[in-house]
Chains A and B, each alone.
Chain A
Amino acid sequence: MKLAAILARKDLLETLRDKLSFVFILLMPLAFTLFFGLLFGGGGNTDKLPLAVWDADGGAAAKQLVADLDKSSVVHVVVKQGDEFETWMADERAAAGLLVPKGYSAAVASGEQADLTIVSTQGSNGAATAASAVRSLAGEQVTVELASRAAAEAIWTTRSMRSGSQETVVVQSAAEARPVVAAALARPAVSTRVVEAGAAAGQTPSGFILSSPGMLVNFILFSLMTAGIALIIERQNGTLQRLMTTRLRRWELIGGKAAGMFLLTFVQQILLMGVAQLFFGVDYLRDPVALFLMMVSLSLVASTLGLLLASVMKSEQALIATTVLVSMAVAAMSGAWFPLEITGPTFQTVGHLLPTAWILDGLRGIVVRGFDVSDVLPAFGVSVAWAAGFFVLAVWRFRLSD
Chain B
Amino acid sequence: MSIVEVKELRKQYDPPKGVLAVDGVSFGIEQGEIFSLLGPNGAGKSTTISMLSCLLKPTGGDATVAGHSVVSDPQAVKETIGVVPQDIALYPDMSARENLVFWGRMYGLSGDELKRRVDEVLELITLVDRQKDRVDKFSGGMKRRVNIGVALLHKPKVLYLDEPTVGIDPQSRRSILDGILALRDQGMTILYTTHYMAEAQELSDRIAIVDHGKMIAVGTHEELVKIVGEGARVSARVDHYLEGMAERWREVKGVEKVEIEEDEAVLLTEDPNEVLPRLFEAAATAGSRITEINVTEPNLEMVFLHLTGRALRE
Could you list which residues of chain A lie within 8 angstroms of chain B, going by C-beta atoms?
3, 6-7, 10, 14, 18, 237-239, 241-249, 400
Contacts and interface: CB of A to CB of B under 8 A. Distances in A.
Nearest to A237: B89
A10 B106 CA distance: 11
Which 7 A-B pairs rank lowest in CB-CB distance, beginning with the nearest? A238-B89, A246-B106, A242-B89, A245-B83, A239-B89, A245-B53, A6-B105
The B interface, classified by DSSP as helix, strand, loop or mixed, is loop
B113 interface: no
Given A246-B103, A246-B107, A238 B85 contact: yes
A238 B75 CA distance: 20
B211 to A, nearest CB: 24
Nearest to A246: B106
Contacts of B105: 3, 6
Interface in B86-120: 87-94, 102-103, 105-108
B75 A249 contact: yes
A157 to B, nearest CB: 76
B54 interface: yes
Contacts of A244: 54-55
Contacts of A242: 83, 85, 89, 150
B78 interface: yes
Contacts of B224: none
A244 B70 CA distance: 13
A135 B93 CA distance: 53
Contacts of B265: none
Contacts, number: 54
Contact of A238 (B88, B94, B103, B108): B88
A146 B152 CA distance: 81
A400 B92 CA distance: 18
B43 interface: no
A7 B81 CA distance: 21
B79 interface: yes
B106 A247 contact: yes
Contacts of A3: 105-106, 108
Interface of B: 53-55, 75, 78-79, 81, 83, 85, 87-94, 102-103, 105-108, 150
B53 A237 contact: no
B93 A14 contact: yes
Given A18-B93, A242-B83, 10 more contacts: A6-B102, A6-B105, A7-B106, A14-B91, A14-B93, A238-B89, A239-B90, A245-B83, A246-B107, A249-B75
Given A244-B55, A246-B78, A247-B78, A14 B89 contact: no
5 contacts: A237-B89, A242-B83, A245-B83, A246-B106, A247-B108
A400 B85 contact: no
Nearest to A244: B55
A335 to B, nearest CB: 37
B55 A400 contact: yes
A307 B107 CA distance: 24
A14 B103 CA distance: 14
Nearest to A17: B93
Q: Which of A18, A243, A245, A246 gathers the greatest number of chain B CB atoms within 10 Å?
A: A245
B160 to A, nearest CB: 9
Q: Which of B53, B54, B83, B106 gathers the greatest number of chain A CB atoms within 10 Å?
A: B106
A241 B87 CA distance: 11
A246 B75 CA distance: 9
A241 B106 CA distance: 13
A246 B99 CA distance: 14
B272 to A, nearest CB: 45
B122 to A, nearest CB: 19
B102 A247 contact: no
Contacts of B94: 14
Contacts of A243: 106
Nearest to A241: B55
Contacts of B53: 245
Nearest to B94: A14
A400 B75 CA distance: 17
Given A245-B78, A245-B83, A400-B55, A239 B91 contact: yes
A6 B91 CA distance: 15
A14 to B, nearest CB: 6
Contacts of A238: 85, 87-89
Contacts of B79: 247
Nearest to A238: B89
B54 A245 contact: yes
A238 B88 CA distance: 7
Q: Which of A241, A242, A400 gathers the greatest number of chain B CB atoms within 10 Å?
A: A242
B159 to A, nearest CB: 11
Nearest to B151: A245
Given A6-B102, A238-B85, A241-B85, A247 B91 contact: no
A245 B81 CA distance: 8
A350 B70 CA distance: 50
A248 B102 CA distance: 12
Nearest to A3: B106
A183 B37 CA distance: 93
A239 B93 CA distance: 13
A6 B108 CA distance: 11
A274 to B, nearest CB: 27
A249 B77 CA distance: 13
A357 B314 CA distance: 61
A67 B25 CA distance: 98
Contacts of B102: 6, 10
A372 B102 CA distance: 42
Given A6-B102, A241-B55, A247 B107 contact: yes
Contacts of A7: 106
B161 to A, nearest CB: 13
Nearest to A247: B108
Contacts of A247: 75, 78-79, 106-108
A239 B94 CA distance: 13
A237 B94 CA distance: 14
